[in-house]
Structure 1
Amino acid sequence: MPRRRPTKTKGKGQGRVVPGFRLSLGLTLLYAALIICLPLATLIVVGARLGPADYWAVVSSPRAVASYRVTLGAAALATIFNTVYGFALAWVLVRHDFPGRRILDAIVDLPFALPTAVAGVALTAIFAKNGWFGEPLAALGIKVAYTPIGIALAMAFTSLPFIVRTLQPVMEELDGEIEEAARTLGAGNVTIFFRVVLPILVPALLAGVSLAFARCLGEFGAVIFIAGNQPYSTEITALLAFIRIEEYDYPAAAAIATVMLGTAFVLLVVTNALQAFARRHELAP
């Protein structure tokens, strides 16, 4: 019986584990167009109903500018706190084994599952003047609820998992032999952390920070309960856009929303550029 000829090697793109590239690509693009691009395009089109002068008058009004300042300031404060605390929490969860570690690891995902409105009500009850934490803080002259500090606290609560869950996989895959090699060369723990470990974690940290900051910019449910929603003082941009919707001023609401959309987009672009630079610097000899 003649022997069968060996099968020729298939060309590029053939013989993949998951077949149907065109179908999967088409479904992916359709999903992106309907779920992501269409709402964003509608937002821009509705905002464009205003002329350039009217658009600028809406987005540069004193009340809108005050809401940008409150939102960006609170988001920056929450992100800075989460960067430090989220890094430490991810490090503890990966590098140490202690009783209750699995419970703590599960609690990190609680802001994902908990409705943000419920989180806002809980934070307000805790940090109000007669709350568990609010009363002793008020005795020290520190007011949290209905202040920008409360807004930052609510934002930090909802955005913390983004940093922790972004850093954890990279920390788990970090090769311990690199640290041992640096230690055998005489490097101390501080030097190993800042010269060996941290540069490897920088791209993931930047991704987590950008996602957390973008989440803070769009937070609504957890904030409105603890903010007090005072114009020019504790009113966030998302609430101002919602107020314009309730007034049936859809173009003004869309115009205000496009400002935050543009801010988030620029942030993500800059973060991607920094990540690419960090990776190139890491791979450089």
Structure 2
Amino acid sequence: MKINNKKHRVLPGFGLSMGYTIIYLSLIVLIPVTILFLKASTMSLADFWETITNERVIASFKVTFLTSFIAALVNAVFGALIAWVLVRYDFFGKKVVDALVDLPFALPTAVAGIALTSIYAPNGWFGQYFELLGVKIAFTQWGIIVALTFIGFPFVVRSVQPVLQDMDFQYEEAARTLGANSIQTFLKIIFPAILPALLTGFALAFARALGEYGSVVFISGNMPMKTEIVPLLIITKLEQFDYAGAAAIASVMLLCSFFLLFAINYWQWRSAKKHQAG
């Protein structure tokens, strides 16, 4: 009796699958990115440097990176807390709360921007109370941080949540048996386990915030040198038909995002390698 030992694959073989992968990535990512850099390369080095070091451009870079970093940091803290609550506790309406986490993914960013502006405006639901305290949210950098926090927190929650779900409770019980308190158990057992996922969520939220436009353009006020973000400046360049200038600014933002993601992935690779060696 002849036995057929040939392995049957559900998906096509490596060659065909790899071909589809390269074609797809080329059409969606590689070709547009390459064209962006090619467009920026049409400028001379002096013109490129003058464009990206313009006083208004530098101010926009500062606003964008500062607000994006603060928003990603806030999301890292509270996103991890939300993930912890969703995984470790059972309560009425848990599934509703879990579904609401993904709302910023589904909600159009322009709608989010209009809603946040109406809420945090000086005469808005929340803004009027902040106004009494002398704090202005809308049309300031604080408003930008609020908008970026809103659109970025699902990245942290969805990055940390699966790690917490897969964690073995035995390690925590063993730590308590050996006399560790809650803080020591968290710092020695839980935090090292979720740190790679937390950094991934932070990096994704930060990278997402760097390119956000729709939700920020309404609440920021778009004041040059104060609340103008880089994506808005790029749109302004395009409206002025300065395509090379827009490409130059966009290429700098793209390189910064690539560097951030590469650094996080490299750190995760080193951590995984060290953990396997240990």
TM-score tier, shorter chain, comes to: over 0.9
Structure 2 counterpart of 1:158, from 151, 157, 165: 151
C-alpha offsets along residues 248-279 of structure 1, whole Å, 9 cap, x if unaligned?
00000000001100100010111111112222
Taking the TM superposition and a 5 Å limit, the aligned residue runs for 1:1-285 are 4=1, 6=3, 14-285=7-278
AA matched with 2:216: V
Deviation at 1:188, TM superposition (A): 1.4
SS of 2:139's equivalent in the other structure is coil
Deviation at 1:17, TM superposition (A): 4.1
C-alpha offsets along residues 17-71 of structure 1, whole Å, 9 cap, x if unaligned?
4333222211111010011011101110111110000000000100000000000
CA distance, structure 2, for counterparts of residue 266 and residue 26 of structure 1: 27
- Whether the 8 Å CA contact 1:78–1:153 is kept in 2: the answer is yes
CA distance, structure 1, for counterparts of residue 8 and residue 182 of structure 2: 48
Deviation at 1:6, TM superposition (A): 5.0
CA distance, structure 2, for counterparts of residue 207 and residue 56 of structure 1: 32
Q: Which runs of 5+ in 1 are unaligned?
A: none
C-alpha offsets along residues 188-245 of structure 1, whole Å, 9 cap, x if unaligned?
1111111011111111111111000000000000000000000000000010000000
CA distance, structure 2, for counterparts of residue 254 and residue 237 of structure 1: 12
- Whether the 8 Å CA contact 1:167–1:208 is kept in 2: the answer is yes
Count of aligned pairs: 278
- Whether the 8 Å CA contact 1:154–1:223 is kept in 2: the answer is yes
- Whether the 8 Å CA contact 1:166–1:204 is kept in 2: the answer is yes
CA distance, structure 2, for counterparts of residue 159 and residue 202 of structure 1: 18
CA distance, structure 1, for counterparts of residue 115 and residue 10 of structure 2: 48
Normalising to structure 1: TM-score of the pair?
0.94
- Whether the 8 Å CA contact 1:163–1:208 is kept in 2: the answer is yes
Normalising to structure 2: TM-score of the pair?
0.97
CA distance, structure 1, for counterparts of residue 181 and residue 244 of structure 2: 59
Deviation at 1:283, TM superposition (A): 3.5
Deviation at 1:7, TM superposition (A): 5.0
C-alpha offsets along residues 99-142 of structure 1, whole Å, 9 cap, x if unaligned?
11111000000000000000000000000000000000000000
RMSD: 1.2
Deviation at 1:182, TM superposition (A): 1.5
Q: Which runs of 5+ in 2 are unaligned?
A: none
SS of 1:106's equivalent in the other structure is helix
SS of 2:231's equivalent in the other structure is helix
